[in-house]
Amino acid sequence: MILFRKVQILEFEPPSVSEPTDVLVWEAGEGEHAGTIAKIGQNLYEQYPQAKVAGEGGYLSAGLVCSHTHLYSALARGMLVAIKPSKDFAQLLDHLWWRLDRAIDPEILHASALAGCADALKAGVTSLVDHHAGPECIDGSLSIIREAYEQTGVRGILCYETTDRNGLEGARAGVAENLRFAREVDAIRAFGRKPLVEVSIGAHASFTVGQETLEALADAVRQTGRGLHIHLAEDKFDAVDARHRFGKDPVERMEAAGALNERSIIGHGVWLSPSEIEIMNARDAFLAHNARSNMNNAVGYNHNLPSFRNVVLGTDGMGADMLEEFKFAVFRHRESQGPWWPGDFLKVLHRGNRLIQRYFAQDFSPDFPGFGTVREGAPADLVLWDYDPPTPLTGENIAGHMAFGMSSRSARTVMVAGSIRILDHRPLFDDVQIQSFARIQAIRLWRRMEAR
């Protein structure tokens, strides 16, 4: 067993800060309750002298969730490749991202997934929802990413971004990879094990998914019981294209195909109309808001955030630091003169747990308290923060501390599913090796891009 001594529990929803207490965890591999919180109370240290102490003092919270990212872009940082200037978002995809994803091979993919997972853990992020593309290396790609998640110890949901941009053959291979990986995850459960990695049914965006492919995706959603993970109306072009080619708004298209459910993840949705938001809300689907990416790509601001039932936050491949992403989401919204305050964005950040729960609840008893909380029976996806604020930290001002002070630098000890991944700021995976392997593969990736 693992013990956190005299920690103050930070709950994000509803926000609260507890008095110092002990928290005891069933370690990974310790029987049927492994990976959950066993007990919370005073002086557990004396009752369980055999427990390993993972830290004393500080604040203990549930791990953070990144609800939309692209690990394949981990090696794009500081890229030294001649990229033609782009006049709009569609050209940016063509000149940069579609050259990058074509250049991915298994080694590059493994290196970028490892680097992205390591980044997440170091920032106190315990769950990463990935959206992967790599048209020259589709079959088996999700298993390569899963290996990186397991090697570093991150929880997550993977998918392959199905698209028609490489022909219908490529699209079929994309759907097949999502289905193959869903069978892989189901087989882990069939063996009586709890998977660390789940699967959604991935697609790139409405404008690169034709009718035949959309129907195949909807079929995969029904077959697997998972949700569709797709970019919709990130740029205005996607909304215009759907109406022009298919006579429907992007969300209407998905709905007409029967592809939307309570596990769907719609990335960006900057240009969705009120009637599309209504459809998403009726299906209880998630909108993944990526404030920094939207700013960087100049695709516009999503003024309708308060109308969505389930807004969650993602980085869209710009690292995995969710406290940084939270700050950008808050400040960009304040700049837009919208009605939300930091406390509203804290709910949004926390809601990523609801998404994780909809994929992983089946691995816990029906009455477990759910993801995103530090309570007995909850999953032991935890972060111990060594934040030492110059002003009082209380339930009423957690969001203010997160917007104006707290940063991922404070993530001291990070645990996923009852396994310590970072201890006192020291990764327990081989981070030095991961970063040096990534730098070698980054140079290979950039060279391969020059040839494409």
325 binds Zn ion (CB under 5 A): no
Distance from C-alpha of 357 to C-alpha of 364, rounded to nearest angstrom: 10
Which H helix or E strand runs over 414?
strand 411-416
**Nearer to Zn ion by C-beta: 198 or 235?**
235
Q: Smaller CB distance to Zn ion: residue 267 or 319?
A: 267
CB of 8 to Zn ion, least distance (A): 35
Determine the Cα–Cα distance for residues 205 and 163; give it in Å rounded to an integer. 8
Least gap, CB of 311 to Zn ion (angstroms): 15
Instruction: Scan residues 9-48 and list those touching Zn ion (CB under 5 A).
Output: none
Identity of the residue, 15 or 267, whose beta carbon is nearer to Zn ion in the bound complex: 267
Q: How far is the CB of 134 from Zn ion (least distance, A)?
A: 14
* Cβ neighbours around 107 below 10 Å, total: 15
Applying CB under 5 A, the site for Zn ion has a residue count of: 2
Region near Zn ion per CB under 5 A, out of 115-123, 261-269, 343-351, 385-393: 261-269
DSSP labels, 344-404: HHHHHHHHHHHHHHHHHGGGS-TT---SS--STTSB--EEEE----SS---GGGHHHHHHH
**With binding defined as CB under 5 A, does residue 134 bind Zn ion?**
no
* Stretch touching Zn ion by CB under 5 A, among 28-36, 95-103, 198-206, 262-270: 262-270
Minimum CB–partner distance for residue 144 and Zn ion (Å)? 19
Closest to Zn ion by CB, 267 or 342: 267
| 308 vs 281: CA distance, rounded Å | 6
Give the orientation angle of helix 141-152 with respect to helix 106-122, to 10 degrees: 30
The pairing of beta strand 21-25 with beta strand 125-130:
unpaired
Residue linked to tokens 């019981």: 225
Q: What is d(CA 105, CA 440) in angstroms, rounded to the nearest whole number?
A: 13
Shortest distance in whole angstroms from residue 161 CB to Zn ion: 8
Least distance to Zn ion, CB of residue 3, Å: 39
**Biggest alpha carbon distance in the chain?**
69
Q: How near is the Cβ of 316 to Zn ion at its closest, in Å? A: 4
Nearer to Zn ion, 103 or 265 (CB): 265
User: Residue 232 in contact with residue 272, Cβ under 8 Å?
Assistant: yes
Q: Is 267 in the site for Zn ion (CB under 5 A)?
A: yes
Report 299-318 residues binding Zn ion (CB under 5 A): 316
Distances (CA, A) of 76 to 86, 133, 271: 17, 14, 27
| Nearest residue to the partner Zn ion, using Cβ | 316
User: Which span sits near Zn ion by CB under 5 A: 75-83, 93-101, 171-179, 265-273?
Assistant: 265-273
Please enumerate in sequence order all residues whose Cβ is within 8 A of that of 63, keeping only pairs 6 or more positions apart, or say none.
124, 125, 126, 127, 381, 382, 383, 414, 415, 416
Comparison of 28 and 280: residue with beta carbon closer to Zn ion? 280
Minimum distance, C-beta of residue 315 to Zn ion, in the bound complex (Å): 9
* Cβ distance to Zn ion smaller for residue 76 or 398: 76
Give the binding range for Zn ion (CB under 5 A) out of 160-168, 266-274, 387-395, 420-428. 266-274
Q: 71 or 399: whose CB is closer to Zn ion?
A: 71
Between 27 and 316, name the residue whose CB sits nearer to Zn ion. 316
Give, as one character, the DSSP assignment of residue 243: H
CB of 312 to Zn ion, least distance (A): 13
Cα 124 to Cα 230: distance, rounded to the nearest angstrom: 26
Are 251 and 266 spatial neighbours (Cβ–Cβ below 8 Å)? yes
Q: Which residues bind Zn ion (CB under 5 A)?
A: 267, 316
